[in-house]
Structure 1
Amino acid sequence: MRISRVLGRFAATGAALACGLVALTPTASADDSVLEQPAYDALRIQELRDRGVDGTGVTIAVLESGVDTTVPELRDGQIEVKAPGCPFTSAPASVEHGTMVTSILKAPGWGLAPKAKVVVYRDPRRGDTEPTCDPEDLTAEALTNVVARAVDDGADIINMSYGGWDVTYEHLFDYAIRHGVIVVIGAGNDASRIPAIDIASRNGIVVVTSMSPITREFSDFSSFGKSVTVTAPGEDLRCRSYDANGAMTVVKEGCRGTSYAAPYVVGALALAKQAHPQATGNQLMQSLIKTAAKDPSGWDEHFGWGLVNIRGMLDDDPSKYPDENPFLDRDPDVAPNAQSRAVYDAGLVSPHWAALGKDYVYRGGDSLIADTYSDRVAMGTSPAFHTKRPAGAPVDGKLGYQD
């Protein structure tokens, strides 16, 4: 069922938006660039170009299985691709997915942040790849370390256009959150409420649902729930696809998915970062929700705080907001929460599950962990072993407070 409520300020652009659309054949061979994108008018990207914002000086990490940087939309995009230690082969569908996500950011004609530095981290965790490495290497540890690597490499924003269900992801975003790096993820395409076990339910991150840039309605396939932050165009899009030989030579109409809504928000944050270089990631997330185009009913589990409002973020002054992650305590029953953060900050999470960033050190007392990760261990030095449990702190054996 399609949610019929539309966003008030965005609805006013409907007539102009409809007039700007051109009917195209459902599928066509592509000899040159994808020249138009319905969301271009919806987000008034030309106005952004006229203001001189293009993502210059901002670093975006894109976690994807694969991307074809030889397609016309990305050929001159100066995109860096980093391969994991575990080699694998991406399926054509994965390359299509990653190419579209990256194009939304970098396509010179309609990408939101064509001058941003984009680093694609090829992530073998995606389920639709064909790994050539040991399947045992494709663990939550691998994904967690990709996130940490992006943080250590200097990413300002991380785009994760996929999800998954895995309780071992409890500490997936701790490292990014501690370093003020924004993580943006699609809500999912299950047309249902986001499960608590899904990584899109995690605290501290930006979760994006999908809406149509043509009808301005909530996408009937989009997941929703209490972790939703904002919405962005994620259907009625035009994307590059693969031919019978697996080459990306086809232009396809009607592409959709919250995977494609997420990079529109990433691009918006990148432009805001360029306009306000002194703003922290936390302040930019505050600005994102304060300026979102919404109707009088306020936040809801479908649109979140509203449609991402790029012009509003450019005109806003993020420095007036506290340097605090506005989503950190969104749901106390979901990680990262106060208890899981305390365990992480105390150095008591095994490096197998914690992000192996350059400054994470295991400080617990497990000798097996010490033997396995000897270069990241300072046995028994956790402050939790030497302090009394603060009043109101959770009673957790992992913390080892001296009661």
Structure 2
Amino acid sequence: MSRAWRPIAVAALLALSASLGQGSAAANRPPPIDPGRLPSGATPAPFEKTEQKLRCAETAPGGDGPTVPVGQRDLGFTSAWQFTRGAGQLVAVIDTGVARHPRLPGLVPGGDYVGTTDGTDDCDVHGTVVAGIIAAAAVDGQGFVGVAPEATILSIRQSSRAFQVAGRAEQQREGQTADGYGDIRTLAAAVVRAADMGARVINISEVACATGSLDDRVLGAAVEYAAVAKDVVIVAAAGNTDENCASNPGLDPLRPTADPWDQVSTIVSPAWYDDYVIAVGSVDSNGAPSQFTVAGPWLDVAAPGENITSLDPRRSGLTTGTIDDKGRQGVLRGTSFAVPYVSGTAALVRARFPQLSARQVIDRLKATAHAPAEGWNPLVGFGVIDPYAAVTADGGTNTVARPTMAAKALPLPGAAAPRDDRPRNIALIGAAAIGGVLVLAILASFPIRRRLHLSDTNAGAGSGATPS
């Protein structure tokens, strides 16, 4: 991604959360859920006093007009609107805040873990873009529209690159960037807050990324609570490699029986809580995996994450990028923006099939995706989502499972059966017999022809005829 702007990553403050202690599970597996670590649902507020060090990001206007953005065109989700537009669904966006916008008329403030707002201030120009992809209302003459335009957004500000713990500025060199604020603790608290406020879908376009071990048990308890106790569909980003988050190895064709979890070197949370979260990778405009997607055995589905157009938090129109303090424009791309396409589709499914549990909705999204040739891989999971299929396919509780990559020995071919030449021999003998008969017939005809010739000669002499 352009250095002018990058998707928010909780990894920026990972040292703070890691200092809370190490998890008890192996480094390549999520730790067991500990309900005792569930954070309270108290009114949102920063865990420490904070200060804003950097000025808020600016946006590059663009995308207005009848042209349909690439991701929207490729997913074709408007075809699903004859069945549902997501009415009645509350979708929580846990992010950098969602600014009030005329195309988000029902925006619900959910609180702020960074500053003192109600959650509807977006200094970082991230959460508003995410929310727009999910639920921006349709406007005549505008090609851009949200996946579930009748859904309602609940905004909870959980992180910001422009803020940091108060007092840190005195310890920093002149020109040094802000530390950022928001970590695993605030993310976990925001998940519980969203679930308690009645969200049916939670969009988490943020990640905590670490190599080795990570104590994220508080976040594990939060996503388990939301998914099981509150029946919420939780959609989380796979993470970006340009966010100092190294990718994991892909499938090894020389080790087809290997468990991909055994190859994990980089942890991405909450995406790796695969029993409770649907993890999303990004694809480009050609449908190929984006080069920045962090691979992992927890990948479930993919969606467009490049060439993004969405709501502008600074104006009433749209934006296609940001402008840094040196006037350089950066584009919007990342797994952060693939996630809201899936969240919007989950809202459509929940509105269409209210009887389905959160787990069944996730299974349905995976079962109706356009699977890669191998059925599943660690970059796109079960494939790119199909909103129309998700709301129309038969079988509301269909489930899928990652394919077993076990090698299977093929049996050696048996000995060839003896060749049967009888038909050929019969044909040859028959042909020879017919040929022999024809030869005999020709030879037998010579004496008859000779006698006939002699008779014709004698008859000519007796009549007085002379040669001409």
Bin of the TM-score, shorter chain as denominator length = 0.5 to 0.7
Measure, in 2, the Cα distance between the counterparts of 1:250 and 1:276: 32
In the alignment, which residue of structure 2 is the partner of 1:143? 187
- The answer for the alignment partner of 1:336 in structure 2 is none
- Return the offset for 1:108: 2.0
- Tell which deviates more after alignment, 222-231 or 81-90: 81-90
Moved more, 187-196 or 85-94: 85-94
Report if the CA contact (8 A) 2:301-2:366 is conserved: yes
- Which residue of 83, 96, 111 corresponds with 2:111? 83
Superposition RMSD in Å: 3.4
Structure 1: unaligned runs, 5 residues or longer: 1-26, 328-403
Q: 1:171 to 1:28 in 2, by over 3 A?
A: closer
Deviation at 1:93, TM superposition (A): 7.8
Query: Which residue of structure 1 lines up, in the alignment, with residue 232 of structure 2?
Result: 181
1:46 equivalent to 2:78? Answer yes
Distance change >3 Å, CA 215–CA 259, structure 1 → 2: same
The one-letter amino acid paired with 1:44 is G
In the TM superposition, what whole-angstrom CA distance separates every residue of 1:53-92 from its partner, at most 9, and x where no partner exists? 210121211101222223x543xx3111222366357999
Alignment pair present for 1:167 and 2:196: no
How much identity, in percent, do the aligned residues show?
A: 26
Shift of 1:46: 2.8
Q: Helix, strand or coil: the match of 2:388?
A: helix
For residue 97 of structure 1, what is the amino acid of its counterpart?
H
Shift, 1:28, TM fit: 5.9
**How far apart are residue 174 of structure 1 and its match?**
1.9
2:99 matches 1:99: no
| CA 1:175–1:320: 2 relative to 1, 3 Å | closer
Q: How far apart in 1 are the matches of 2:66 and 2:272?
A: 34
Name 1:118's counterpart in structure 2: 153
Distance of aligned partners of 1:248 and 1:188 in 2 relative to their CA distance in 1, 3 Å threshold: farther
2:92 is aligned with what amino acid? A
Contact 2:238 / 2:295 at 8 angstroms: preserved in 1? yes
**Residues 1-400 of structure 1 aligned to structure 2 (within 5 Å):** 29=61, 36-49=68-81, 51-70=82-101, 72-74=102-104, 77-84=105-112, 87-88=115-116, 94-109=123-138, 110-123=145-158, 126-131=159-164, 140-165=184-209, 166-168=214-216, 169-179=219-229, 180-190=231-241, 192-193=247-248, 195-196=266-267, 198-203=269-274, 204-212=276-284, 214-239=285-310, 251-252=319-320, 254-317=331-394, 319-321=396-398
CA drift at 1:94? 4.9
What is the CA-CA distance between 1:225 and the residue it aligns to?
Answer: 1.1
CA radius of gyration, larger in: 2
What displacement does 1:200 show? 2.2
Q: Displacement of 1:232 after TM fit?
A: 0.2
Q: What secondary structure sits across from 1:302 in the alignment?
A: coil
Aligned partner of residue 270 in structure 1, secondary structure: helix
**Secondary structure at the residue paired with 2:112?**
coil
Distance 1:163 1:170 in 2: 13
Structure 1 Cα separation of the partners of residues 336 and 63 of structure 2 = 25
Distance 1:270 1:134, change over 3 A: farther
Q: How many residues align?
A: 289
Secondary structure, counterpart of 1:196 in structure 2: strand
Deviations 1:88-140 (A, max 9, x none): 579998541111100001222320011112111111xx2514157699x9564
SS of residue in 2 equivalent to 1:303? coil
Separation of aligned partners in 1, 2:401 and 2:233: 11
The AA in structure 1 aligned to 2:386 is N
Q: Is the 8 A contact 1:157 1:270 kept in 2?
A: yes
Q: TM-score, normalised by structure 1?
A: 0.63
Which one-letter code corresponds to 1:36 in the other structure? V
Distance 2:401 2:226 in 1: 14
TM-score (norm: length of structure 2): 0.55
Q: Give distance in 1, aligned partners of 2:89 and 2:362.
A: 15
Aligned-pair CA distance for 1:162: 0.6
Please tell me whether the aligned partners of residues 271 and 279 of structure 2 are also in contact (alpha carbons under 8 angstroms): yes
CA contact (8 A) 2:282 2:289 kept: yes
- Shift of the 257–314 alpha-carbon distance from structure 1 to 2, 3 Å rule, reads same
Structure 2: tracts of 5 or more residues without a match: 1-58, 139-144, 169-180, 249-263, 322-330, 403-468
Considering Cα pairs closer than 8 Å and 6+ residues apart, tell me whether 1 or 2 has the greater RCO. Answer: 2
Q: 1:34, 1:186 → 2: CA distance?
A: 29
How many angstroms does 1:37 deviate by?
A: 1.7
Per-residue deviation, residues 191-228 of structure 1 (Å, max 9, x unmatched): 6227236332223211000002x222111111111110
The letter of the residue matching 2:163 is E
